[in-house]
Amino acid sequence: MSGIVYLVGAGPGAPDLLTLRAARLLERADIVFYDALVHPETIALAANARRIAVGKRCGKHSTAQQFINKRLVDAAAAHSIVVRLKGGDPMLFGRAQEEIAALEAAGVRYEVVPGITAALAASAQIGISLTQRGVVRTVSLVTPRVGEGEAANDWARSIVAADAGAIYMGVGQADAIAAALIAAGKAAATPVAVVENASLPNARVIYLTIAGLPRIADDGLPGPAVILIGAQFHAHQAAAASANALVDGATEPDDCRESTDPGRVRIGR
């Protein structure tokens, strides 16, 4: 095998959050296999490369992982620089290990280029640190999603055991997530921040509680979103609940409504 495969993190969305190494590799790439959530401007950096979509989106047609693995191996035999462009960071819920195993088995050289993961971008978007001295010292990064043939994982207990948590790929299962967290011992009133399209101009935020999570399934979040859970979001969640009550006299718990700053923050309790 003459080529080398780079597993590159595209970051959370904004093209200018790409690392310098990643940008330079895209400019030099012969062929690029990119995920569904990678920004078009990021893909456009690979101006001289053949660009192939191999994205995976829940509920939509997607490329089988085994097929992606084979294409990477085949591409390394025909090209000098192969880029596998992944949303966020390749090593966090990015199936990188499966691709690395296939490359190693075929004797293909590879290198991993890290990217900013969604939880950190969401934290930056709302200006609330995932860790805070004296309040939050541990953070659990989890996903309730399981692949075909995989056994369900006990992800909820890891969030209960930590001071805070970030749930990836969970908005479509919001009601089940709320039930699982409460059943595992997390208080229903625990503050939550749901951040959609972190780092992009159309980013939105919903502040609520675990008990209110089922409402976000009806709130229209078409973009990728991260669910952040922890005491550090209490002040914002409380302010959002108070704002709802002042605006329209809302008395129903767990209500979520649009804020006066559309396009950035949505408020709820």
Q: What is the DSSP string of 30-41?
A: SEEEE-TTS-HH
Copy the structure tokens of residue 155: 């992800």
Distance of CA 122 to the CA centre of its chain: 9
What is the layout of strands, in order, in the sheet containing 164-168?
A: 139-142, 164-168, 225-230, 191-196, 204-209, 266-268, 256-258
- What is the torsion angle, in degrees rounded to the nearest 10, for the CA atoms of residue 211, residue 213, residue 216 and residue 218? -60
CA distance 30 to 108: 16
Copy the structure tokens of residue 138: 């541990």
108: closest CA among 72, 66, 68? 72
Catalytic residues: 35, 56
SS (H, E, C) 90-151: CCCCCCHHHHHHHHHHCCCEEEEECCCCHHHHHHHHHCCCCCECCCECCEEEECCCCCCCCC
